[in-house]
Amino acid sequence: MARTPKEKRYQAIVNAGLKRLYEQLGYLQSDVLGKLRTLRHEISSASLSNIKNDKTVGVATLETAAKGVLLLMEQELDMAYDDTTSDFISRNTPEWKPIIVPEKQDPANQGIKVYAEGRATVAQKTAFFADAKQELVEVGIRLNSFSTYFISQSDSAYKQHILNLLQRGVHIKGYLLDPDCEQARIYFEDRAGTLDTENRSLDKIREVMADLRHLCAQFKLMNLPGTFEIYVYQHIPYSLYLIVDGDSDDGKMMVSPYLYGIRRANCPVLEFSKKDQETMYNRYLEAYKAFTQSARLLV
pLDDT value at residue 109: 65
Residues 149 and 186 placed together within one structural domain of the fold = yes
* 52 and 120 belong to one structural domain: no
pLDDT of 281 reads 95
Give the pLDDT score at 1: 62
Same domain, 143 and 72: no
Residue 108 lies in a domain: no
Boundary (domain end) residue, out of 76, 103, 130: 103
Query: What CATH number does residue 290 fall under?
Result: 3.30.870.10
Question: For the chain, what is the domain count?
Answer: 2
Which phi and psi angles does 162 have, rounded to 5°? -70, -45
Domain extent, residue 95, equals 5-103
Question: What is the per-residue pLDDT for 108?
Answer: 63
Instruction: Determine the Cα–Cα distance for residues 50 and 68; give it in Å rounded to an integer.
Output: 16
Same domain, 67 and 120: no
Instruction: Say what the pLDDT of residue 106 is.
Output: 67
For the chain, 299 residues long, the average pLDDT of each consecutive 10-residue run is 88 96 90 92 91 90 96 96 96 93 74 87 92 97 94 92 97 98 96 93 96 95 96 97 96 96 94 91 96 93
Is-contact 15 57, C-beta < 8 A? Answer: no
Which bin fits 169, alpha (ψ -120 to 50), beta or left (φ > 0)? Answer: left
pLDDT at 116: 87
Q: Are 188 and 180 in contact (CB under 8 A)?
A: no
Residue of 206, 210, 149, 187 lying closest to 264 (CA atoms): 187
The Cα 8–Cα 86 span in angstroms is 11
pLDDT of 46 reads 87
My answer on whether 126 and 274 are in the same domain is yes
